[in-house]
Each structure stands twice: as structure tokens, then as C-alpha cells.
């Protein structure tokens, strides 16, 4: 049933949760949303006008409008062509299997979770990580490897120590996948990889991973994931855990998903950053409270000027970076993305090798190894029951 409603999308959205976009035959952008409370389809007159710049269907999944949290292509193979994912999912509240019924996953104890744009969704529409949803839907492909760049795969090797043969045929979890650049590598190296992210970043990742039937996505909080303990051969989480409220607690949730004999690899920010970026930490108290749009405009204005200044006066570059640190990446767009990424997150903790290695030991992991890039550590879950499980059952 289609009902006429005139409320602004913004207001409706709080009830509806998700907004979907399609291009109809008349090249009109139509947005629909199933109202979660009434089950009605709701249409938004006038929305096509607002989105007239985004008529290209291939752009839809990469776009997020300030008044709409999500805009999805309705048809997507992300769910239908990944039957292996269906078997892995469990209800995060009861650890029971889920049955799919018309784009809804149901647990027999009454929970239900929507599948939108081919992605099962286990999070509320908004979280502390909305800045990342904004970031990755704005820069959906910049850091993806292609014929001209292997920067992400180089970075993956340095942070995890994994080579293609380590991932081949393995069941892998990418905890906090962002737009999917590392899940993309795991998929290319022959793993069956599930990328999870709490934010709308999964929509950007879907655009990047749609071509890999061995890569799937789930929108979920890594502290409460819809997978049974011991599901994955390899779990990695790069650049994520320090952005959660408690790095160790989040890591321990991921650790529980590793199979006995499997590996966990994490990269978190290094404490050494604290001194070089002293000015940035102060500024962050302001910038992390800014609307993402405003912050991005500011970064777009400041980053190129700061870069030019550092180029002109290399002897003072250090001092500029001390007061207003900005990225020094050779690519100007990466500089803007990295700088936005630094100033926007709500949480941003820093850690030492000793601390992270200590966490691995505390969780009962063995073969705990430092990787090259600070602070990257990986470890193996022993074949017997881990201390974490023993503690859980005590
Ligand atoms: C800096 S980005 C890194 C993304 C990706 N790993 C990469 O390196 O390109 C951090 C990501 O962690 C996600 N994130 C933060 N807290 C999370 C949580 N509790 N559960 C799942 N994802 C989370 C954010 O949404 C964001 O996409
Ligand atoms: Zn349930």
C-alpha cells in the first residue's frame, strides 16, 4: 500500500529507519521507505528535486544526503548471491539461527532485522560512528587498490603479516571494514570474507565488493555481532578498535569469534602519535563535535594551505604539524580524507605494543607477534579451550 505523506524525510526518517532509492523508467528518482511501525510504504514527494544531481543509478549507493540516512539501490545481489553468509548468521541477542522472510531476518524468539540494499542490518540508524558513514560514502573508492596503486595491500601486509596463501580458502572477518579496501584484498586473495561495520560505510563497501561472491557485508556493531563464537579462521581489524569506547573490550569480542587454531590481527593507533600531534588532540575536542559537512568543508580549505606552507618552508613543517597536524600523503585527495579521518571520530585512543601484546596474552592467545607498523599485533588462538571461554563458563 502506498500512502501519501508530506512530512519532511528528516522527520519521517526517525521512524522509518531506512530510505531506499530507485530509478524508474521515466528516469525519475523515487524514494520509498517501509515504515517500521505501520508497515506502509511511504513516498516522499519532492525528494527527486533534492536529489537531481544523483540520477546515475551507479552513484546511488555511494551517496548519502543530509536529510536521508541511507539511500540504497533496492535490487542488489549482495544477499541473494551469498548463501554461505545465510548459514553463518545468528541472532545477536540469542545466538539462534535466523530465517529470511521478505527482506527480514527473524529469530524464533521474536527479534527481527531488516535486509536493506542486500545487507543485513543489526544496528540502529545512528551511532557514535556516523562520521565514518559520512566519510566512506563521500570517499568510497579513493583508497581501493587498482592498476595504479597497491597501497592498501602493502598496508595490509605490513599490519597483519598475512600473505595471499594464508587467506586462501579461509573464512575471514574484517571487523570495521569501512568502504571495504581490506575486505577487497582478502576476497582477491581467495578468502570468504565478511565485512562488518557499524556505520553506513557498508553501503560504500557494497559498491566495491558486489563483484565478489566470496565477499559479504553486514551492518553491525563489532561488540555484538551476529555470529557464533569460533566462526572464523581469521579475524582482522585495522584502524578500528581505538575508535570504539573501549579498545580492549572490543578486541575481546572479536577474539571470541576466532576458531581454535585461528588467527586474530589488529592494528591500533600508537601512543607515540600523542606527542607529535599534541595540537591536533586539543583541536579534536572541537572538531569531533562539528557536523561532518562543516568539518569536511573546513578540511578542504585548510589541508591544501597547510600543505603548501609545509612545502614552502620545510624547516617549519614539524611545527606546523605540531599545532595543526594535517596529512602529508602525496595524493591531495588522500590528504583531505586522512585529515578528516583524524579530526572527526568521537573516540580515538592510543596504545603501545606492550599493552596490546598483553591483551592477546590475557585472552589466552599464543604466537603473539608484533608486526612492522606500530601498533600492529597478531596472535593465534590455542587449539584447546581459550581462557576467555573458560572464564565465560565459570
Ligand atoms: C578509520 S575507519 C577504518 C576502516 C577500514 N578498516 C580501513 O582501514 O579502511 C574505522 C571504521 O570502524 C568502524 N567502527 C567504529 N566502531 C565500530 C563498531 N563498534 N563496530 C563496527 N564498526 C565500527 C567505523 O564505522 C569505520 O568505518
Ligand atoms: Zn533473538
Q: What is the pLDDT of residues 210-249, one digit of tens each?
A: 899 999 999 999 999 999 999 999 999 999 999 999 999 9
DSSP-assigned states of every residue in 134-157? HHHHHSSSTTS-BTTB-HHHHHHH
If 0-12 CB within 10 Å is exposed, 13-18 middle and 19+ buried, where does residue 31 land?
A: buried
Distance 275 CA to ligand 1 centre (A): 24
The percent of residues in the chain predicted with pLDDT above 90, rounded, is 66
Confidence of residue 292 (pLDDT cuts 50, 70, 90): very high
Distance 176 CA to ligand 1 centre (A): 4
Ligand nearest to the CA of 89: 2
- The pLDDT of residue 306 is 93
Whole-Å CA distances, 104 to 9, 71, 111, 119, 192: 23, 18, 10, 11, 23
Beta bridge partners of residue 41, listed in sequence order: 2, 34
**Does residue 279 surpass a pLDDT of 90?**
no
* Pair 13, 34: CB distance under 8 Å: no
Q: Domain 130-268+368-381's class?
A: alpha beta
**Does residue 182 surpass a pLDDT of 60?**
yes
Distance 242 CA to ligand 2 centre (A): 29
Ligand nearest to the CA of 108: 2
Which amino acid residue places its CA nearest to atom 13 of ligand 1? 176
Helix (H) or strand (E) holding 75: none
What span, in angstroms and rounded, lies between the C-alpha atoms of 1 and 370? 57
For the record, the C-alpha cell of 78 comes out as 549482495
- The pLDDT of residue 388 is 54
- The pLDDT of residue 386 is 54
- The pLDDT of residue 384 is 75
Confidence of residue 153 (pLDDT cuts 50, 70, 90): very high
Confidence of residue 277 (pLDDT cuts 50, 70, 90): low
Residues with CB under 6 A from ligand 1: 129, 132, 136, 176-178, 181-182, 196-199, 201, 221-223, 238-240, 243-244, 341
Residues 6+ apart with CB under 8 A from 356: 266, 268, 375, 377
**Does residue 318 surpass a pLDDT of 90?**
no
Query: Atom of ligand 1 at shortest distance to CA of 143?
Result: 9
Domain boundaries, the chain: 2-73, 77-120, 130-268+368-381, 273-343
What span, in angstroms and rounded, lies between the C-alpha atoms of 394 and 385? 13
CB half-sphere exposure, 167, CA atoms < 13 A: 30
Per-residue pLDDT, averaged over 175-185, amounts to 98
User: What is the reported pTM?
Assistant: 0.83
For the record, the C-alpha cell of 241 comes out as 578498535
For the record, the C-alpha cell of 380 comes out as 593465534
What confidence tens digit (pLDDT) does each residue in 58-112 have?
333 333 333 343 444 345 788 999 999 999 999 999 999 999 987 899 999 999 9
What confidence tens digit (pLDDT) does each residue in 2-40 have?
222 223 333 322 222 233 444 333 333 444 443 334 444
| 64, 125, 131, 132: residue to mutate for ligand 1 pocket, most atoms within 8 A of CB | 132
* Pair 266, 377: CB distance under 8 Å: yes
Omega of the bond prior to 375 within 30 degrees of 0, cis? yes
Distance 82 CA to ligand 2 centre (A): 22
CB half-sphere exposure, 352, CA atoms < 13 A: 3
Amino acid at each position: 500500500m502506498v500512502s501519501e505523506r508530506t512530512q519532511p524525510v528528516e522527520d519521517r526518517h526517525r521512524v522509518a529507519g531506512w530510505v531506499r532509492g530507485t530509478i524508474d523508467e521515466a528516469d525519475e528518482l523515487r524514494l520509498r521507505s517501509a515504515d517500521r511501525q505501520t508497515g506502509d510504504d511511504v513516498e516522499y514527494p519532492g525528494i527527486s528535486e533534492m536529489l537531481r544531481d544523483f540520477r546515475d543509478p551507479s552513484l546511488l549507493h555511494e551517496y548519502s544526503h543530509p536529510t536521508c540516512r541511507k539511500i540504497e539501490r533496492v535490487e542488489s545481489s549482495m544477499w541473494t548471491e551469498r548463501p554461505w553468509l545465510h548459514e553463518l548468521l545468528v541472532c545477536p541477542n540469542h545466538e539462534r539461527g535466523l530465517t529470511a522472510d521478505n527482506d527480514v531476518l527473524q529469530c524464533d524468539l521474536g527479534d527481527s532485522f531488516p535486509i536493506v540494499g542486500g545487507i543485513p542490518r543489526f544496528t540502529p540508524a545512528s551511532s557514535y560512528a556516523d562520521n565514518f558513514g559520512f566519510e566512506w560514502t563521500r570517499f568510497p573508492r579513493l583508497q581501493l587498490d587498482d592498476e595504479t596503486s597497491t597501497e592498501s595491500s602493502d598496508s595490509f601486509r605490513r599490519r597483519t603479516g598475512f600473505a595471499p596463501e594464508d587467506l586462501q580458502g579461509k573464512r575471514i572477518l574484517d571487523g570495521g571494514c569501512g568502504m571495504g579496501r581490506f575486505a577487497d584484498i582478502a576476497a582477491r586473495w581467495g578468502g570468504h570474507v565478511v565485512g562488518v561495520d557499524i556505520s553506513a560505510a557498508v553501503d560504500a563497501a557494497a559498491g566495491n565488493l558486489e563483484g565478489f561472491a566470496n565477499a559479504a557485508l553486514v551492518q553491525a556493531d563489532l561488540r555484538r555481532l551476529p555470529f557464533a563464537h569460533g566462526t572464523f579462521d581469521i579475524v582482522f581489524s585495522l584502524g578500528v578498535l581505538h575508535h570504539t569506547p573501549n579498545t580492549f573490550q572490543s578486541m575481546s569480542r572479536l577474539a571470541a569469534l576466532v576458531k581454535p587454531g585461528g588467527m586474530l590481527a589488529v592494528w591500533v593507533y600508537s601512543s607515540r602519535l600523542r606527542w607529535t600531534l599534541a595540537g591536533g588532540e586539543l583541536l579534536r575536542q572541537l572538531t569531533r563535535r562539528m557536523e561532518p559537512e562543516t568539518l569536511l568543508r573546513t578540511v578542504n580549505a585548510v589541508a591544501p594551505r597547510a600543505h603548501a606552507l609545509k612545502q614552502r618552508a620545510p624547516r617549519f613543517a614539524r611545527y606546523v604539524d605540531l599545532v595543526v597536524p594535517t596529512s602529508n600523503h602525496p595524493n591531495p585527495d588522500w590528504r583531505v580524507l586522512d585529515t578528516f579521518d583524524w579530526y572527526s571520530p568521537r573516540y580515538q585512543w592510543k596504545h603501545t605494543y606492550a599493552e596490546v601484546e598483553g591483551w592477546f596474552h590475557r585472552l589466552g592467545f599464543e604466537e603473539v607477534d608484533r608486526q612492522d607498523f606500530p601498533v600492529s599485533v597478531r596472535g593465534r588462538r590455542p587449539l584447546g579451550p581459550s581462557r576467555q571461554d573458560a572464564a565465560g563458563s565459570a
